[in-house]
Amino acid sequence: MTRSLFGALFALGLLTVSPVGKCDPSSGDTYSIDVVSDSEQTIDSVASFNEGLKGLSSTARVNKCDLVLVHMIGGTLRNRVYGAVCRLTTDRDVLLCADPVFGGFALSTNFTESQRTTLDFMRRNCPGG
């Protein structure tokens, strides 16, 4: 799919920013977790997920994500991690997280779909830098 098609697929459902949480981890860095609302962030997140799948030698690609979360470390998009439950081109739902800055990626097929599950998965598997 093209970048513009991904933007069109996600833009309708992702028009407003919805903060999920703001924390101060023990490292002293502040971070926030928000629902992705920007079409460029959506394109970036899907590209990051697809790069992770490609790195696993998978031919599957992301077809659709219902809710994409972004974890902004230090409050900036320069250091970010994405997490989402997505439907792949194989018609399988998976829980994904990806760190486009440092290249981290994780995938799970055994999960209960919820925002809390996605947040916990991101923190455990893609903590960012």
Q: Which helix (H) or strand (E) holds 116?
A: helix 115-125
pLDDT at 74: 73
Q: At 44, phi and psi to the nearest 5?
A: -65, -45
Boundaries of domain holding 7: 3-125
Task: Please state the domain count of the chain.
Answer: 1
pLDDT at 33: 81
Give me the tens of pLDDT residue by residue for the chain, a chain 129 residues long: 333 323 323 333 322 233 344 333 444 445 578 898 888 888 999 999 999 999 999 999 999 998 899 988 776 667 789 999 999 999 999 999 999 888 899 999 999 888 889 989 998 999 876
pLDDT at 37: 84
Q: At 105, phi and psi to the nearest 5?
A: -155, 140
pLDDT at 31: 53
C-alpha angle with apex 86: 91 to 55, nearest 5 degrees?
A: 90
